Amino acid sequence: MSKKAKGIFAVIFSLIISLITVFMINEYLNTETQRRVEQASADTHSVVVFANDLTAGTIVSAKDLLVRQYPSHLINHNWFLQNEAGLIIGQELRVDGSKGEPVSKRGLLNQQNTGLSRQLPDGHYAITVSTDNLGLHNALLKPGDVVDIAFVGEHFESGIATESFENIEVFDIHGLNDGYGSYALTLLIKPDDVDEFTRAMGSGMLVWARSSSSSREDVWNTESLTSKVMSWTAY
């Protein structure tokens, strides 16, 4: 075979090898792309989104909702999936919702809220203080009891400085099942007393239980008692 023929053969052979290589690479890319598309399609979930722009306070209805596919790794745990759509209908929006935006649990008012705010009577704040077995009156104190609270301050020549608060209802007691030691009293405080009560909390605290039939006389006398000493002469 002449040199010219050998050169032509080498070129043709290289071209064939190149075509085969390109074909194999193309087949691999097509196969891998198809596999990834199928995998991505299988790893998606139907997420509930807003069909319209809605304002806070709107009661959500079925016409306000649509379903959109999202890859699983992009789904927030607060979003509603398609099988949870019934939980959204009839709920009130806490914040504005935009068209196409996933509906989030945080964006709805919790109508099933049984938290502390819903349990408190109107016109009261809950303030929790620490006490011991003495303040708990040997575990005799119960939620619903009415107490007077005295915060004991520094000693002065005229007596002991106290800051007192009367007719406070005990809302809850924590720690009763843990034996003797530290307990927590949750008290119902009127708005007018919140500031002074909070400021006084750094001092030592005494808890005085009131009888349910006792009068509401002010027993906290801020005037110091003085005694008279009669002069005497030694014989």
Residues of the chain scoring pLDDT < 50: 156, 220, 222-235
Q: How high is the pLDDT of residue 215?
A: 52
Q: How high is the pLDDT of residue 189?
A: 93
CB atoms inside a 10 Å sphere around CB 200: 19
Q: How high is the pLDDT of residue 178?
A: 54
Q: What is the pLDDT of residues 164-182, one digit of tens each?
A: 898 899 988 887 655 556 7
Q: How high is the pLDDT of residue 226?
A: 42
* Predicted TM-score (pTM) of this structure: 0.45
Where are any strands of DSSP class E within the chain?
44-50, 65-71, 125-131, 146-156, 159-174, 183-189, 204-209
Phi, psi of 136 (to 5 degrees): -90, 0
